[in-house]
Amino acid sequence: MSTSLDPDDEVVVLAHERFPNRAKTAVGVLRYADYDVAAVLDRDHAGDTVADHLPGVSDAPIVADMTEALAVADPDALLVGIAPIGGGFDESWRGDVRAAIEAGCDVVAGLHYFLADDAEFAALADDHGVDLVDVRRPPDDLTVSEGRARDADADVVLTVGTDCSTGKMTTTLELVAAARERGIDAGFVPTGQTGIMIAGWGIPVDRVISDFAAGAVERMILDAAEDHDVLFVEGQGTIVHPAYSGVTCSLLHGAMPDSLVLTHSAGREAIHGYEDFPIPPVETYVDLYEDLSESVAPASVVAGALDTRAQDSEAAAEAAVDDYADAIGRPATDPVRFGVSEILDAL
């Protein structure tokens, strides 16, 4: 699917009461999207600017609602950049979405609640000729994998993890950016809602019916391989997750990668949200991912990416990275803290 977002678009990002720490999509878009963020909606921080809260990205005003945003910008779209637990639509956002549509903006969201199924928004969008884009709704013409991704005319690198939320999307996007800086024709293959909003295309693999999940990944690989020499595929979950391992397995066998980058969050001891399930020793994952890929399309873990946010000092972060590299027997780094040169060199 395509989100209708182009690199020269300007967007407003809705992040009420959650910017920046509980607004993963808003922050991802600010950090990695090609299009420009003209304003952020957060009624709790109206009057501040993005730079007051999130260094290292383009600055933009934070305003209280869409009407204020329209006073300072001429955006092409409103993005919903937060996702409450359960993925519902917060009725306090209705006025902002309404104002956006009436101003001729497309509205892009990754909620479980589909904007296009909302009677008011659907009618209003129709009246104003704008698109309501629900990135979590998979295409309806998906089918089973034909096992062809290994024939794709591109090197394929998949991020895998020891758990959810270990930095797979961030690592993947940092690798794409760094590879492009080296002159490599690198493409990003998004598989989750935030990645799709950033890239402007993609399929939310976790929402695809399980028979078609690998097929959805295969389709993205074959499409993207026509345009790039190297593909960096955003991974999901972990192969030992009590709930989501099937998604991870479909990604591994659907993408048929050549190389894997193993992401981990330093110090995490149990599966996030499943505290009775301890994370096994990290070296276990190297064998699991390599053995599971072997009989379908062999892939090697070539490097590790460690999230060291829990380490206060640079020295502690460096030590954690060294320990991690030793444990998995591969070069490693923290992509955010230390860059991804080690990983690119290993690829």
Task: Indicate whether 117 belongs to the interface with a second copy (CB under 8 A).
Answer: no
The nearest distance, CB 287 to a second copy, in angstroms, is 7
Task: Indicate whether 116 belongs to the interface with a second copy (CB under 8 A).
Answer: no
Task: Indicate whether 347 belongs to the interface with a second copy (CB under 8 A).
Answer: no
Buried b (16+ CB within 10 A) or exposed e, 291-322: ebbeebbebbbbbbbbbbeebeeeeebbebbe
The nearest distance, CB 87 to a second copy, in angstroms, is 11
Q: Which helix (H) or strand (E) holds 275?
A: strand 274-278
Task: Indicate whether 175 belongs to the interface with a second copy (CB under 8 A).
Answer: no
- The alpha carbon of residue 6 and the mean position of all alpha carbons in its chain are separated, in whole angstroms, by 17
* Sign of the Cα pseudo-torsion (178, 180, 185, 190, in order): positive
Q: Which is nearer to a second copy, 177 or 282 (CB)?
A: 282
Task: Indicate whether 13 belongs to the interface with a second copy (CB under 8 A).
Answer: no
Task: Indicate whether 166 belongs to the interface with a second copy (CB under 8 A).
Answer: no
Amino acid symbol at 291: D
| Given 166, 250, 259, 311, the residue binding a second copy (CB under 8 A) | 250
Whole-number Å distance between alpha carbons of 259 and 232: 10
Report yes or no: 263 and 333 within 8 Å, Cβ to Cβ. no
Task: Indicate whether 140 belongs to the interface with a second copy (CB under 8 A).
Answer: no
Residue 158: how many other CB atoms lie within 10 Å: 30
Cis peptide before 84 (omega within 30 of 0): no
The nearest distance, CB 68 to a second copy, in angstroms, is 36
| Given 51, 72, 144, 316, the residue binding a second copy (CB under 8 A) | 144
| Given 56, 269, 295, 315, the residue binding a second copy (CB under 8 A) | 295
Task: Indicate whether 296 belongs to the interface with a second copy (CB under 8 A).
Answer: yes
Task: Indicate whether 242 belongs to the interface with a second copy (CB under 8 A).
Answer: yes
Paired strand residues for 78: 12, 107
Note the residues at the interface with a second copy (CB under 8 A): 144-147, 205-211, 213-215, 239-250, 252-254, 256, 274, 276-277, 280, 284, 287-288, 291-292, 294-296
